[in-house]
Structure 1
Amino acid sequence: MDRKAPTMPLRRHLLAVLAAAGLAGALPVPARAAEPGAEAMVGHRAAYRLALDRVRDNSDIARAEGVMLYEVVDACDGWATRQRFQLRLTDRDGQEVETTSDYSTFETKDGKRLRFTLTQTSQGAVSQRVGGEAEVTPEGGRVTYTEPEAKEEALPKGTLLPMLHTIRSLAAARGGTRMLLVPLFDGTSPDGAQDTTTVISAWSPPQPNSRFSALASLGSARMRVAFFDRDPGGSGGGASAPDYEVGLRYFENGVADELKMDFGEFSVDGTLQELVVLPNPC
């Protein structure tokens, strides 16, 4: 489950086919069975308009606006994704700061391997780069970073990768489960996995959708995902205040709308403006 945007300074994604296809070609994929539920996910391109929702009493933020472009391509043995995020913040003195992120991944359909790159800029200058590969095993797995420095980090047991987290969250919603607590690794931080708590609403049947006909015949569920700094003691998400939260409605094909991104000091609404369902090449 991606679609994260930054804490301050900008970090965390929230994903251009050529770049993502390049990632796919760089990651040999053994023949493994796809996670059940992967067949329901569709390749798509979605554009969201970002606008300020609210600010905390002690915040200096007066205005926030931007865009997020998200693309996921079915590469048959995996999912190639790219998320581009741009946000302009204006403080109460009228000063503006523009931050952007460009985040690409390739995740195998069995949810075991991830290749990732993230570039973030502030006022046109690169502020952070993160890149590398991760492999999940029954014991947890490891991340091998190439940027910002060459190093390895262990992953905790039970770690999920982003697309698999989405698939498992949708399966939980359909099965009546209301909470999912797991470590999540998405490649947006040089610090390894984060603990997450996903609170899930009841499954909703298909509803009329005059703007996006591709979604009108699909069920959906609303979710709120809280991200926490990893607790070495293993107590899981919820032991402290979340680092970041995102709310959204997921349709059964993996398309999301009605985003709300809460950075603590302020929150931003993301409204789906354009949606293109991509043909399945497999």
Structure 2
Amino acid sequence: MPLRRHLLATLAALGLAAALPRPVPAAEPGAEAMIGHRAAYKLTLDKVRDNSDIARAEGVMLYEVVDACDGWATRQRFQLRITDRDGQDVETTSDYSTFETKDGKKLRFSLTQTSQGAVSQRIAGDAETTPEGGTVKYTEPEAKEETLPEGTLLPMLHTIRSLAAARAGSRMLVVPLFDGTSAEGAQDTTTVISAWTPPQANARFPDLAKLGSARMRVAFFDRDKGSDAGGASAPDYEVGLRYFENGVADDLKMDFGEFSVDGKLQELSILPNPC
């Protein structure tokens, strides 16, 4: 799940899928374990930094992954209401959609973010990775092209590689990541991975009870700050979560710097495989 500070965009999944070329690419090893699903999360304030004016934060996030056979169509919708110590509310929303081919080489993306009902940001375009890095071509906020650094991963591929690293006993994955939530190209990421956990009882979500999982914390660093893939500078954004081996995530913690929020899984629906 590509969770990010801006999160989310609007573009129908089928429209995204139809816009990408055929034939069907060979899937990345591990893609077969990922499943289509819909998940709803309740967001609540976790903590605020010293001297912060934030008194309360609450919201919801809806995440959907559709197996389109030759790729993954995802949509994340995010709504957060922040209340300051004077009782003033600010509401932000994001709607973020992607289509990523199963070989992890092509991505179509669209993000729309609003604040107090007015559009504050739009990002859209498509990206393609190569052994040398690849390119991203933006259509919004302006038409431009950016070069991707060598080793760049797209969001679903990053999830698959992170799970593979966890099962192999690796404790860290350091790579550039491009997910379409930034108008400045790829970001450097450092993923710290806990030990692989065998299946555990799960009365609320029995579909997850037979699956192994691993907890991870992903830190994002803007490359224009000279972070060098998670170097000494502070991260721009961090997210902690538990990934199950089928790509479902729970126990989210999103750290925006000034404050962080918890995301608790409330509803989960497994979607049938159409392929």
- Alpha-carbon deviations, 1:58-82, whole Å to 9, x = none? 2110000000000000000000000
SS of 2:266's partner is strand
* Counterpart code for 2:162: S
Answer whether contact 2:69 2:274 (CA < 8 A) is retained: yes
Question: Are residues 1:32 and 2:40 paired?
Answer: no
Gaps of 5+ in 2: none
Q: Using a 3 Å threshold, how does the CA distance of structure 1 residues 34 and 273 change in structure 2: closer, same or farther?
A: same
Q: Partners of 2:144 and 2:232 in 1: how far apart?
A: 28
Q: What is the count of residue pairs matched by the alignment? A: 275
| Offset, 1:33 | 1.2
Amino acid at match of 1:180: L
Q: TM-score, with normalisation over the residues of structure 2?
A: 0.97
2:46 corresponds to which letter in structure 1? D
Root-mean-square deviation (CA, aligned residues, Å) is: 1.4
2:44 maps to 51
Q: Is 1:2 paired with 2:5?
A: no
Tell me what 2:108 maps to: 115
Other structure's SS at 1:39 match: helix
Counterparts of 1:99-138 in structure 2 under 5 Å? 99-138=92-131
Determine if the alignment matches structure 1 residue 272 to structure 2 residue 254. Answer: no
1:73 is the counterpart of 2:66? yes
Q: Tell me the secondary structure at the aligned position of residue 170 of structure 1.
A: helix
| % identical aligned pairs | 83
More displaced stretch, 139-148 vs 227-236: 227-236
How far residue 28 of structure 1 moved from its aligned partner, in angstroms, is: 1.2
Letter in structure 2 aligned against 1:89:
I
For 1:158 and 1:220, the matched residues in 2 are separated by 25
Matches of 1:30 and 1:174 in 2, distance apart? 31
| CA-CA distance at 1:27 after TM superposition | 1.3
**What is the rounded CA distance, in whole Å, between the counterparts of 2:57 and 2:14 in structure 1?**
32
Deviation at 1:23, TM superposition (A): 0.6
Q: Does 1:222 align with 2:215?
A: yes
Q: Structure 1 residues 239, 30: closer, same or farther in 2, change over 3 A?
A: farther
CA contact (8 A) 1:55 1:265 kept: yes
- C-alpha distance after superposition, 1:179-199 (max 9, x if no partner): 000000000110100000000
Determine whether 1:196 maps to 2:183. no
Task: Note the 1:156-235 alignment, pairs <5 A.
Answer: 156-230=149-223, 235=228
Structure 1 unpaired stretches of 5+: none
Moved over 6 A (4+): none
How far has the Cα of 1:32 moved from its partner? 2.3
Per the TM alignment, residue 50 of structure 1 is displaced from its structure 2 partner at its CA by 0.1
TM-score, normalised to structure 1's length? 0.95
Aligned residue in 2 for 1:244: 237
Look up the SS of the partner of 2:50 in the other structure: coil
Q: Which secondary structure does the structure 2 equivalent of 1:164 belong to?
A: helix
Deviation at residue 232 of structure 1 after TM alignment: 7.9
Per-residue CA deviations over 1:209-230 (Å, capped at 9, x if unaligned) read: 0000000000000000000011
